């Protein structure tokens, strides 16, 4: 079951152009494009005439023309032209989805009815480009959404799966603290590492060599948004009592977790950093590293899902490092119950 009454990342802003793209989100085929006025549009990717994917059509000005028989739809999904006749049957419109572009990500509201803008995650670090540089990407994983949640809520796997880029021994050996805010529905997982090796991901970009203090503060907003607040600082230099922290290097590592089908998920990512702002070489370096890190996760989760598909009985023995993931599962289950209650 999908949690529909939520915002999910649907595309990178850079992916939307006058060439439509197709995505399956929460089991629904969606076509997305940017029209000639620059407006972003998402409609059901199934032409109501004979079912051809509208994403295979052509954007002409502000409308989308189906690639099969030329039925034409405006950005609200209303059919505005049918070849060979003036009358347009009223049932010829398609569902239009609400989209919001925020920096490098485009969000989609998957609930029926009015989109709830109060639930849209705030991402000022993606739009404040004077103070933050951003790189972004997306990968598709042939694994259930829940496997990606488990993966992101327990970063101890960095030590083993991402050894050599972001993983160092201390990530796995440093205990975590987990806090749950039931009111605002956020799962926080803190891991503060003192006087530890600086992995290449950070040493090659911050210039800090040798030992550092490294904080990983996760905020997970179920179901679809995850923010890892990473802080790298010289050893023994915490933020000042007034909260200012100019001597440290900060990176926000965002993930948009967007279920595609029951057994596949889009893994959108973005890195916003407050150092080397505007430095293209650092952008390219981080992008390359992150693509490799994400691929390691993709490969691991694909293998787990294959085992599940083979019918292997999933046995789990949870330990302390799993607390964040278990709490997240619990919150997702609660959200599921809440959504079911709303529907009845």
CA dist 192 and 231 (Å) reads 9
Residue count of the chain, please give it: 344
Q: 50 or 338, CB closer to ligand FES?
A: 50
Rounded to whole angstroms, the Cα distance separating 55 from 22 reads 6
Q: Which does 71 bind (CB under 5 to 8 A by kind): Fe ion, ligand FES, none?
A: ligand FES
Contact string 39-68 vs ligand FES (x = CB under 6 A): --------x-xx-x-------------x-x
Q: Closest CB to Fe ion among 20 and 167?
A: 167
- Count of residues touching ligand FES (by CB under 6 A): 9
Minimum Å gap between C-beta 172 and ligand FES is 53
Contact call for residue 69 and ligand FES (CB under 6 A): yes
By beta-carbon proximity to Fe ion, the closer residue of 45 and 297 is 297
Burial 234-262 (b: 16+ CB within 10 A, else e): eeeeeeeeeeeeeebbbbbbbbbbbbbee
Q: How far is the CB of 56 from ligand FES (least distance, A)?
A: 9
Least CB distance from residue 65 to Fe ion, whole Å? 42
- Cβ neighbourhood burial of 10 (10 Å; 0-12, 13-18, 19+): buried
Q: Is 71 in the site for ligand FES (CB under 6 A)?
A: yes
Interacting residues toward Fe ion by CB under 5 A? 297
In the block, residue with structure tokens 């949870």: 318
Report the residue number, 22 or 303, with the smaller CB distance to ligand FES: 22
Q: Which CB, 45 or 296, lies closer to Fe ion?
A: 296
Q: What string of H, E and C letters represents the secondary structure of 75-143?
A: CCCCEEEECCECCCCHHHCCCEECEEEECCEEEEECCCCCCCHHHCCCCHHHHCCCCCEEEEEEEEECC
Q: Which does 66 bind (CB under 5 to 8 A by kind): ligand FES, Fe ion, none?
A: ligand FES
How many angstroms separate the CA atoms of 23 and 31, rounded? 6
Instruction: Please name every residue paired with 137 in a beta bridge, in sequence order, or none if there are none.
Output: 269
H/E run at residue 178: strand 177-181
Which one of ligand FES, Fe ion, none interacts with residue 297, CB within 5 to 8 A by kind?
Fe ion
Binding residues vs ligand FES (CB under 6 A):
47, 49-50, 52, 66, 68-71
């Amino acid at each position: 079951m999908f949690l529909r009454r939520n915002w999910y990342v649907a595309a990178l802003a850079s992916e939307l152009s006058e060439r439509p793209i197709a995505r399956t989100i929460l089991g629904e085929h969606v076509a997305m494009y940017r029209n000639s006025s620059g407006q972003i549009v998402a409609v059901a990717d199934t032409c109501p005439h004979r079912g051809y994917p509208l994403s295979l059509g052509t954007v002409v000005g502000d409308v989308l023309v189906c690639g099969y028989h030329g039925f034409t739809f405006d950005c609200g999904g209303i059919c505005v032209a049918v070849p060979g006749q003036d009358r347009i049957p009223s049932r010829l419109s398609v569902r239009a989805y609400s989209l919001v572009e925020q920096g490098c990500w485009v969000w989609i509201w998957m609930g029926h009815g009015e989109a709830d803008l109060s639930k849209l995650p705030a991402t000022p670090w993606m739009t404040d480009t004077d103070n933050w540089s951003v790189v972004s990407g997306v990968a598709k994983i042939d694994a259930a959404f829940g496997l990606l949640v488990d993966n992101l809520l327990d970063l101890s796997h960095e030590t083993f799966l991402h050894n050599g880029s972001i993983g160092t021994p201390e990530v796995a050996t440093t205990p975590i603290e987990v806090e749950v805010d039931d009111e605002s529905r956020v799962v926080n997982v803190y891991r503060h590492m003192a006087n530890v090796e600086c992995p290449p991901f950070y040493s090659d970009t911050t210039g800090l060599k040798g030992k550092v203090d490294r904080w990983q503060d996760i905020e997970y907003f179920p179901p679809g948004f995850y923010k890892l607040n990473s802080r790298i600082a010289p050893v023994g230099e915490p933020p000042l009592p007034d909260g200012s922290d100019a001597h440290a290097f900060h990176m926000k590592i965002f993930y948009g977790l967007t279920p595609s089908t029951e057994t596949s998920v889009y893994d959108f990512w973005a890195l916003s950093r407050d150092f080397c702002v505007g430095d293209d070489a650092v952008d390219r370096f981080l992008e390359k590293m992150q693509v490799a890190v994400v691929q390691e996760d993709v490969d691991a989760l694909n293998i787990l899902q294959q085992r599940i598909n083979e019918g292997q009985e999933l046995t789990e023995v949870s330990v302390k490092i799993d607390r964040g993931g278990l709490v997240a599962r619990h919150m997702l289950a609660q959200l599921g119950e809440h959504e079911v209650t709303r529907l009845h």
